[in-house]
Chain A
Amino acid sequence: MSDSGIGARVKRKEDERHLHGRGRFVSDILLPNMHDVAFLRSPLAHGRIRGIEIPDDLKSRVYTAGDLDGVEPIRAVATVPGFKASDYPPLATGKVRYAGEAMAMCVAKTRAEAEDMVDLVRPDIEELPAVCDIDAAVQPGSALVHDDWGDNLFLDTVVGGDMGDLEKTAPVIVEREYKMARQAMNPMEGKAVLAHWDDTASQLVVYTSTQVPHAIRSGLSMCLGLPEAKIRVIAPDVGGGFGYKCVLQPEEICVAWLAMKRRHPVRWIEDRREHLTAGANTREHYYKIKAYADERGKLLGLDATVTISVGAYSVWPFTAVIEAGQAGGNLPGPYVFDKYRCRTVSVATNKPPFTPYRGVARPGVCFAMDLTIDAVAREVGREPHEVRAENLVQPEQMPFTNITNKYYDSGDFPAGVHEAVEKIDVAAVRKRQKAGEPDGRLIGLGFATYVEQTAHGRPVFGAWGIAVVPGYENASVKLTADGGLEIRVGVQSHGQGMETTLAQIASSELGIPIDRISVIHGDTGTTPFSTGTYASRGIVMAGGAVATACRELIPRMAPIAAHFLQCKAGEVRLEDGMMKGPSGEVPLADIGRAWYLRPDQLPEKVNEGGLEVVMGYKPGIETGVFGYATHAALVAVDPALGSVEILDYVIVEDCGTLINPMVVEGQTYGGAAQGIGTALYEEMPYSPQGQPLASTLADYILPGPTEVPRIRIYHTETPSPHTSHGQKGVGEGGAIAPQAAIGNAINDALKPLGAEVGEAPMTPHRILDAISAARTKATAQ
């Protein structure tokens, strides 16, 4: 094995360019005669379009829905019974259905001039009542987001069913309601698209900031009516995705169409205001939970209703149902109980179309489930971490199929809780709480435990019947003439460090040091097909595919090596980066040189497959491999201000074999920072008319360096029996638990006041309101 292989803490190969400002993002790409697009966006959340008034001198440079000849709307369908599909037009057609919906494209030499044009184009909209409140939206007589539906339900389903006689027999019943605010994902780089027609290749070339270039090609082909071979999609450096960039964007379709129409390069770069308003598309969940438990706090059953404000349209390919599907299926998480019912209601609202964000429903379900566990623990008067650990799947039960039929392949969930208890030092915290704080603040401790389904494939996505279902993942590896390696993968690395970790896997397989290995990704023109980077699938799927392709390369090299070593092909083996035979060894560079440059040194027939291999890979199970973690937060709440300071934060995580511990930690820090945002800061409030009220970063508060504490990460390593090297996905995990751990910590701190919060973000206003409500209640009693 090389010392830069699996498990090595090597620095990321991609950091060299990023730390020197030499990355190449869409907005860094300049093409001759490139024009900028600015979108006219709907000022209203809901209305009928009477017309769009365009000044005469601008008419040749402004495009509305009626101009998009032959362009089909985005139609993201799932085959789940009862699902209603929605046509999502690239430019608003007939009605506008959310504030910020694109209505027209203005084209100019610069963005500033294009924005000047936007100011002169006048939309004439008859305002309709906005559907924003999820309770009102499902009442008869509500205004309708889609007139022909008859109601505002994308989908209404129930998982599980019979709760038996728990209502009568359960010693403890705890009821709670929880809310998650609508959020914007805020990648550092927003969306960006640059398209031009390449006459040489006779192809439409679309540079786009996406996680899923191959899927976007299929989506563009579908909407533009252009054969796939006529489209090349390139995702250059991408400044964060988080799910925001895993779906087909209306702007991608518009800009691609415009490039063909005008025959010169055009681009659109999303600005932060567009992102915050038109892109506030995630996290908004509402929970009603009834938990049944015994006197020790052991859960007997859970009855839940999850309502999701899905927004106006179904996104392609993940549709409007994935969030509800993930919520109903993942709510039980790592916990064991016998009776379960979960109704999920996906409500159409006049807000941006819901898009899966890092953790996909699990940050919400973890918040609901883990706050409920702590509420049960308070009810039975026990330490929450003890009740939590007792409710988890126990190690001797593994592998375990849970109540929603999820197959947990490996792990020891309680061990993670126990280690977190020790690292955060529960005993010391309890002592400190008793003593009280000199500044009057209240200290609180909270835990949260989750499982993270990663790299799931056909059984999961196929069951929803969505347009893109991941199957075999492909990778290509090519030995170069000098004994290096080129890897080509269809996943896109936009912060995951895959240029490094995939090289580390190849290095372990072939003994080639990673600085001799290049990883090429993000271009449909040069890489094998992949459905893309989402669902924490990269390291399992692309990593497995790279390993499989590397292994296939060995028998391709063997006949050449055998010729040099004067032995049979079956007698050579790869060891320490050399092909070795009974009487000697030959470096890979000699094999590469002979095959490509000096075939005169080879016998007439070797392996005609050559030294470039494309292989497909699937893990041993397609239901996903499950990572898991426990987060523990220690907070100080100032009851006179409602403010929260995170004093300590511990994560004990297990994602199977660590390909590069530093990359795992980086993913986890970043995810946890986003989770802290969900917990304490981030929220897109709306007026009753559906106006987004936080259109700048002065109002939409993101955690900064002073709000993210020094997080202490500890690893355990339980390899999955089903993946190429025992690895599990980990990309989303960090973001799943912080709002639950911090929520529990706040509620622990507020316990002496009898107050409790259940709405994220847990802002000073909400905490003060909870304290005030508790006081009112106490006075009334």
Chain B
Amino acid sequence: MKAAKFDYEVPASLDEALASLAENGGKIVSGGQSMGPMLNMRLATPDLLIDLRRLPELTGYSQDGGKLVIGAAVTHAQIEDGALPDATRGMMASVASNIAYRPVRTRGTIGGSLCHADPAADWPSALTALGATLVIAGKGATRRIGIDDFMLGAFATALNEGEVLIAVEVPVLSDAARWGYYKFCRKTGEFAEAICGVVFDPAGNIRRVVLGALGGAPKRLSALENRLGDGPPGDDEIAAAIDALGIAFEPAQRVMHNTAVKRAMQQAFGS
């Protein structure tokens, strides 16, 4: 389990990184918490690794009107520790605090997690529930994309060659907003067996219920979203909403997903 040979670059600026990426190709790394094992197991064998962890453009944050803009190389630990303003009424800090283990959170980054696009990871589901927008830089142009359109499947995203995810825009939730996030893991720090994220903010018109830890990208449960104003749904409604996805679950998986939705709803709306 030793990585194959690769070159390693630490660009000083985003422009330098984009130029290098355009010229040499290569694979991007920031926290390395997924890339490290993939390199060692030779699941990834890039010729060049471009390390974005120290780029000033990616490690900061800013508040812009109704949204918080989080640099893609901000770590889970920074979010957990409240180093950023709390735009989501505690939701992001709570989600961050349950990602893997603290050593992973110290290095792992929000952008890295999104780009790795592991279906069982937290950020793809949690940020889908928040309706985040992603800021993507290419050589000469920057584009913005809704998170619903970003993750295409397991370990697949809408990033084009030469592009870098540079920031995540999260809406600032109103005082009236309610959220729930429930994940079930076989042991502390493991990837999830089932995830549900719920965000309801009538003021910002956010109504999202997201089922994660599926075979691919997280799915929105639209039947439940439409009735969020009416409080927690019944078991039958939850089951019907999951049925509507048309995914063939094993029976036990099915129970876990039902429970995740029920508990996220309970957390959001009280029992």
Query: Which A residues form the contact surface with B (CB < 8 A)?
Result: 110-112, 115-116, 119, 271-273, 640-643, 681, 696, 698, 701, 703-704, 706-707, 763-766, 768-769, 772
Contacts and interface: CB of A to CB of B under 8 A. Distances in A.
Given A642-B255, A642-B256, A769-B252, A764 B3 contact: no
Given A642-B256, A765-B252, A768-B255, A706 B37 contact: no
Interface of B: 1-5, 37, 41-42, 184, 186-191, 193, 250-253, 255-256, 258-259, 262
Given A119-B42, A641-B259, A763 B251 contact: no
B1 A772 contact: no
A350 B173 CA distance: 57
B184 A643 contact: yes
Contact of B252 (A698, A704, A764): A764
A640 B255 contact: yes
A618 B133 CA distance: 75
Contacts of A764: 184, 186, 193, 252, 256
Q: Which among A111, A765, A766 has the highest number of chain B CB atoms within 10 Å? A: A765
B178 to A, nearest CB: 21
A439 to B, nearest CB: 11
Contact of B37 (A642, A643, A696, A704): A696
Contacts of A112: 2-5
Nearest to A638: B259
Contacts of A641: 184, 255-256, 259
A681 B2 contact: no
A698 B193 CA distance: 12
Contacts of B1: 115, 271-273
Given A768-B255, A769-B251, A696 B4 contact: no
Nearest to B187: A707
A449 B64 CA distance: 65
Given A119-B42, A273-B1, A768 B252 contact: yes
Contacts of A111: 2
B187 A772 contact: no
Given A112-B2, A641-B184, A698-B191, 16 more contacts: A111-B2, A115-B1, A119-B4, A273-B41, A643-B184, A643-B186, A681-B186, A696-B37, A698-B190, A701-B187, A701-B190, A706-B189, A764-B184, A764-B256, A772-B251, A772-B252
A701 B186 contact: yes
30 contacts: A112-B2, A112-B3, A112-B4, A115-B4, A119-B4, A272-B1, A640-B255, A640-B258, A640-B262, A641-B255, A641-B256, A641-B259, A643-B184, A681-B187, A696-B37, A698-B191, A701-B190, A704-B187, A704-B188, A706-B187, A706-B188, A707-B188, A764-B184, A764-B193, A764-B252, A765-B250, A766-B252, A768-B251, A768-B256, A772-B251
A354 B33 CA distance: 34
Nearest to B45: A119
Q: Which among A273, A706, A768 has the highest number of chain B CB atoms within 10 Å? A: A768
A763 B184 CA distance: 13
Contacts of B186: 643, 681, 701, 763-764
Given A641-B259, A696-B41, A115 B191 contact: no
A271 B1 CA distance: 7
A759 to B, nearest CB: 13
Contacts of A765: 250, 252-253
A769 B189 CA distance: 24
A121 to B, nearest CB: 14
A707 B1 CA distance: 27
A422 B67 CA distance: 59
Contacts of B258: 640
A115 B5 CA distance: 11
B259 A703 contact: no
Contacts of A698: 190-191
Contacts of A681: 186-187
A642 B186 CA distance: 10
B127 to A, nearest CB: 22
B252 A642 contact: yes
Contacts of A642: 252, 255-256
Q: Which among A643, A696, A772 has the highest number of chain B CB atoms within 10 Å? A: A643
B2 A115 contact: yes
Contacts of B259: 640-641
A598 B186 CA distance: 68
A703 B187 contact: yes
A116 B45 CA distance: 11
A599 to B, nearest CB: 58
A641 B258 CA distance: 9
Nearest to A702: B187
A163 B254 CA distance: 45
A683 to B, nearest CB: 11
Contacts of B42: 115, 119
Contacts of B193: 764
A768 B252 CA distance: 6
A701 B193 CA distance: 13
Contact of A116 (B5, B189, B251, B252): B5
B97 to A, nearest CB: 14
Q: Which among B5, B189, B190 has the highest number of chain A CB atoms within 10 Å? A: B190
Nearest to B184: A641
Contacts of A271: 1
Contacts of B2: 110-112, 115
A641 B253 CA distance: 9
Nearest to B251: A772
Contacts of B253: 765
Nearest to B1: A271
Contacts of B5: 112, 116
A681 B187 CA distance: 9
- 7 tightest Cβ-Cβ pairs between the two chains A and B: A112-B2, A768-B252, A706-B188, A640-B259, A765-B252, A271-B1, A768-B255
A111 B5 CA distance: 12
A619 B259 CA distance: 58
A706 B187 CA distance: 8
Nearest to A765: B252
Contacts of A643: 184, 186
B7 to A, nearest CB: 15
Nearest to B194: A641
B66 to A, nearest CB: 37
Contacts of A766: 252
Q: Which among B4, B42, B191, B256 has the highest number of chain A CB atoms within 10 Å? A: B256
B67 to A, nearest CB: 34
A765 B255 CA distance: 9
Nearest to B120: A698
A769 B4 CA distance: 43
A116 B2 CA distance: 9
Contacts of B262: 640
Contacts of B252: 642, 764-766, 768-769, 772
B4 to A, nearest CB: 6
Nearest to B254: A768
